[in-house]
């Protein structure tokens, strides 16, 4: 007997509602076949079968509310090998045509990610591929995912060309022997034709039906985003708000006509999924938070002197260069202890204070802005922070970051100084309540003890959510960061 339990639902999510069961007791299931769909107040989560077998008892019925790791059902072993051929008749056809055929499927995309766009194929039809060799790259609204070959053979058919949007369970291509190419194409047609038939009668989530009845909303007016187009609770909530949201829509006026001479010199490029998400999240941040920015400046003399004195010994011992980011991370951790609301977030009518610091470090990549998270930065040494930043930065530039590495941040540092920015107002990374903007270090004349002295100065900017952080707290935070950087010994003494 194998237990089917509620998976991790995400940060701060403790319970979910069983929306739909795709299988019933007595049905044969294959490994990783979807058994049911859970609905939380934030995301919809599909629960795959942890093992092959027969679905026994269903412990949590549709509509039940369950906690994390709660028992959902039981799978009995012994008959699970049978459903595999029945579940995938399309795969059997190419095999009969000559050589074993292997389907290339969309890999796991991460929690709450339901679709991706095929950005690049590294192989063409007819190319020989080795097992685990990269076939293509998928782009979601959060990360890029490389798809390796599940087996060695010949790429006989590409079902999802570049630019195609595919869902989380889609077939991308077929790998077979040299003779499998001709047989694979006919098999794809019945598989595709069968898809619409399965969506003819879709049962909506119980919570969605209840909410539609309470609000008097017709199901025909709601667009379902669940599996096979079923209506989920969040779909009903969006539909309920639609009349209010419809008013601003006309503001999105069509682009003004362009002169023919200018149009011939323009190039129209479709925004990537990541760029669309960046644009949407930044605008949502502006629309949601009561964002305000306060500024200060810091004399970098002491930090630069300390770094210059110890950088060679530091690199020799730890194998990583001593940069400025570890000083700023340490200074921010120091200040967050005194002003905890900058490290908190708003959840409905509650304020959630974080007794830890997961530091987001904004990084520019060819694909767009990403914010990998350095977890438990408050417990790290200078060397640990530098190593983590170096490793995350390289993975970000290579497009290798997983979604988990970009979730859960409590505060963010953005360094526009590497691009020459002298001053800016960073935008919050929701649901965080604070972000520190670093800038270019520039020699400027400063009045020190009645004397004009040239000092390396940097402007600091703290953008914060005024709903949770008062002006006093924001200014205090920035002053504490300034003090720690101008006298790094304060970090050692915890002053």
Active-site positions read 466, 470
State the virtual CA torsion across 461, 465, 469, 471 in degrees, nearest 10: 50
In this structure, is the dihedral angle defined by the CA atoms of residues 302, 308, 311 and 312, taken in order, positive or negative? negative
Cβ burial of 234 (10 Å; 0-12, 13-18, 19+) is buried
List 71's β-bridge partners, or say none: 5
**Residue 306 CA, distance from chain mean position:** 37
Q: Which two tokens stand for residue 395?
A: 């993975």
Q: Which two tokens stand for residue 445?
A: 């004349």
- DSSP string for residues in 7-65: ----TT--EEEEEEESS-TT-EE-TT-EEEEEE-SS-EEEEE-SSSEEEEEESS-TT-E
Q: Which two tokens stand for residue 117?
A: 């766009």
* DSSP single-letter state for residue 125: T
The count of other CB atoms within 10 Å of the CB of residue 381 is 11
- Contact between 369 and 393 (Cβ < 8 Å): no
Pick from 368, 388, 381: which is nearest to 280 by CA? 368
> Which uninterrupted H or E stretch holds 369?
strand 368-370
Separation between Cα atoms, residue 264 and residue 250, nearest integer Å: 28
- Contact between 374 and 385 (Cβ < 8 Å): yes
């Amino acid at each position: 007997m194998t237990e089917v339990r509620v998976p991790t639902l995400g940060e701060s999510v403790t319970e979910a509602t069983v929306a739909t069961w795709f299988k019933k007791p007595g049905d044969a299931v294959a490994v990783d076949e979807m058994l049911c769909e859970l609905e939380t107040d934030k995301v919809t989560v599909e629960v795959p079968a942890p093992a092959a077998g027969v679905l026994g008892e269903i412990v949590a019925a549709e509509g039940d509310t369950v906690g994390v790791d709660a028992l959902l059902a039981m799978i009995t072993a012994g008959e699970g090998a049978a459903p595999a051929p029945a579940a995938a008749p399309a795969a059997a056809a190419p095999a009969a045509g000559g050589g074993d055929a292997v389907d290339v499927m969309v890999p796991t995309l991460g929690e709450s990610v339901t679709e991706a766009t095929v950005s690049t194929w590294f192989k063409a039809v007819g190319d020989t591929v080795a097992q685990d060799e990269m076939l293509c790259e998928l782009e979601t609204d959060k990360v890029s995912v490389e798809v390796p070959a599940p087996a060695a053979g010949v790429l006989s058919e590409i079902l999802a060309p570049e630019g195609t949007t595919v869902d989380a369970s889609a077939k991308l291509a077929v790998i077979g022997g040299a003779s499998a190419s001709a047989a694979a194409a006919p098999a794809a047609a019945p598989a595709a034709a069968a898809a619409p038939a399965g969506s003819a009668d879709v049962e909506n989530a119980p919570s969605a039906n209840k909410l539609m009845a309470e609000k008097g909303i017709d199901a025909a007016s709601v667009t379902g985003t669940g599996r096979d187009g079923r209506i989920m609770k969040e779909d009903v909530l969006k539909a309920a708000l639609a009349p209010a949201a419809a008013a601003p829509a006309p503001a999105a006026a069509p682009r003004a006509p362009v002169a023919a001479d200018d149009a011939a010199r323009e190039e129209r490029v479709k925004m990537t999924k990541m760029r669309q998400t960046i644009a949407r999240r930044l605008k949502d941040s502006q629309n949601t938070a009561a964002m305000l920015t306060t500024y200060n400046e810091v004399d970098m003399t002491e930090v630069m002197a300390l770094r210059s004195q110890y950088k060679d010994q530091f690199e020799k011992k730890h194998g990583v260069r001593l940069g400025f980011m570890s000083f700023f991370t340490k200074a921010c951790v120091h200040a967050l202890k005194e002003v905890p609301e900058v490290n908190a977030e708003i959840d409905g009518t509650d304020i959630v204070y974080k007794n830890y610091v997961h530091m987001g470090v904004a990084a520019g990549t060819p694909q767009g802005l990403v914010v990998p998270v350095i977890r438990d930065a408050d417990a790290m040494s200078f060397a640990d922070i530098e190593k983590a930043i170096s490793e995350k930065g390289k993975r970000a530039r290579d497009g290798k970051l997983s979604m988990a590495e970009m979730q859960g941040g409590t505060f963010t540092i953005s360094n526009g100084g590497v691009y020459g920015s002298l001053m800016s107002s960073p935008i919050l990374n929701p649901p965080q309540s604070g972000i520190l903007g670093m800038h270019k270090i520039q020699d400027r004349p400063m009045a020190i003890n009645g004397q004009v002295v040239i000092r390396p100065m940097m402007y600091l900017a703290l953008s914060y959510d005024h709903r949770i952080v008062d002006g006093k707290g924001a200014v205090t935070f920035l002053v504490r960061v300034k003090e720690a950087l101008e006298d790094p010994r304060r970090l050692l003494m915890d002053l």
